[in-house]
Amino acid sequence: MERFAIVDIETTGSHARGHGITEIAVIITDGFSELDRWETLVDPGLPIPEHITKLTGIDDTMVAAAPTFEAIADELEDWLGDAIFVAHNVGFDYAFIRGHFETMGRIWKRPKLCTVRMARKLLPGHGSYSLGRICTDLGIANNARHRAMGDCAATVALFHQMMQTERAEAVVQSMLKRGERESWLPQHVPASDFENLPLTAGVYRFLDRKGVPLYIGMSHNVRHRVRTHFNGDMASSRRQAFLRDIHRIEAEETGSVLLARLLEDELIRKHWPIHNRAQKSVAMRTAIIPYTDQKGFNRFHLKRQRHIKQAVRWFYRDDDARTWLHACAREHQVDPEMLGLGTDGRNLLRDDSPQAIARHNEGVTAIMRSARQSERMALIEKGRNHQESAVVLVENGVVYGWCYTEEAIERFDQLDEIIPMKPGSATSDAIVQHALQEFEAGKITLRVWKEPATKKPPEGGLFA
């Protein structure tokens, strides 16, 4: 005997992303008679908007003592069981419930039927197929509109009426056959591609029918990020063409967000997918450019530009460049204006004697020497499993390469033997610089091993 789970939910908003469920009702039926029913209020984990309360009558006090979705997830899954999921405008209810399971890291999937589409096929001629209007037309009572059980019971009555029509079985089977695959996935993509995506950090690729990458992306949760690509407006012809061209989805875990960003950049620059535009231009940077003025003073000026060949040092943010130069000016007793940091407007006359010029130039030379000193470091991150670590080798802010390793590293120079050189890019350098800034600000956990005189690994070893 076929079992159908008629479902209705009340929520805090109109789309699954960013909103919560406040009430769930389920009625189990064989298509002709009700077999059982279940309902519960749900704590959505966020305030219920006033307009939602006016519509449903559900307010924050009513759900204050209600269970969270996580608390009732097992019970709900038992109720839905192996039944066909049925709802009026099924995409709404299904998306919310599936999305809530996904946030728990669980895969939840059921065949589904939409009573709106069924009604259009089996009960033609109505001016509106909203639940309220179609039930009014058919004389179906609903004494609790916009409450989960009230609307659920009305949907059951509508469903039972439709199942008694002559073409009902054929329509249901046709709709189920079309709904065997995920309706939100691009038409050529097998559902197994999505189900095999990791729920951890990694890189994913949308491939065309020849296996050529159309788009490459990264996320801390690959499956969740891929799902968001297929939400939203389908009206754009460019978006429709993009989805139509996708035939496969591939992904690989990286163990950490840092490695995901680096691998994403490497793969984009290897394949140049037509839908990746952000990385196709070289990033603008603040370059510190040296020059000598007419009096013989060695000076700097700051310039936003893409190339950095003539730069003493460069930064992605202008503020970072100025902070570094101010520190250098204090340390080497050099006038900040001579380092490109502007003036207070007084335009003071300087001592331009040969002795003064020599003292000044000596300080600028010291700044240039310190800027060009080789500083090598290794950024140590989580690997893809408990046995390995990821290591990124950096010199003077430039990424030289990275790898995964299970080897016991005792000396810094061993890294040169195990880390393959990468082509690198301005983007990968910026990724590492941003990670170091977040590390210094205490926003992320990262182990940084600078090349010391002793060449010993960080305390606890490379894999601590």
> What string of pLDDT tens digits covers the 464 residues of the chain?
689 999 999 999 877 777 899 999 999 999 999 999 999 999 999 999 999 999 999 999 999 999 999 999 999 999 998 899 999 988 889 889 988 998 888 878 888 999 998 999 999 988 888 999 999 999 999 888 889 999 999 999 999 999 999 999 999 988 887 655 455 677 678 877 888 899 899 999 999 989 999 999 999 999 989 988 886 544 456 677 788 899 999 999 999 999 999 999 999 999 999 988 766 566 677 888 899 988 899 999 998 887 666 788 877 788 888 888 888 888 898 888 888 887 644 444 577 888 989 999 999 998 888 776 567 888 999 899 888 999 999 887 788 899 999 887 778 888 888 888 887 787 888 888 888 878 877 878 888 888 764 455 555 445 44
126 is catalytic: no
* Helix, strand and coil in the chain, % to nearest 5: 40, 20, 40
HEC letters along 6-22: EEEEEECCCCCCCCCEE
Which of 88, 100, 146, 160 is labelled catalytic? 146
| Distance (Å, whole) CA 282 – CA 264 | 16
Looking at residue 308, its pLDDT comes to 67
Neighbours of 260 (CB within 10 A): 24
Residues 6+ positions from 48 with CB-CB distance below 8 Å: 12, 22, 58, 59, 60, 63
Beta bridge partners of 383: none
Looking at residue 56, its pLDDT comes to 92
Query: What domains can be seen in the chain, in order of their start residue?
Result: 4-178 (3.30.420.10), 191-280 (3.40.1440.10), 285-372 (no CATH), 376-450 (no CATH)
Looking at residue 458, its pLDDT comes to 56
Looking at residue 10, its pLDDT comes to 95
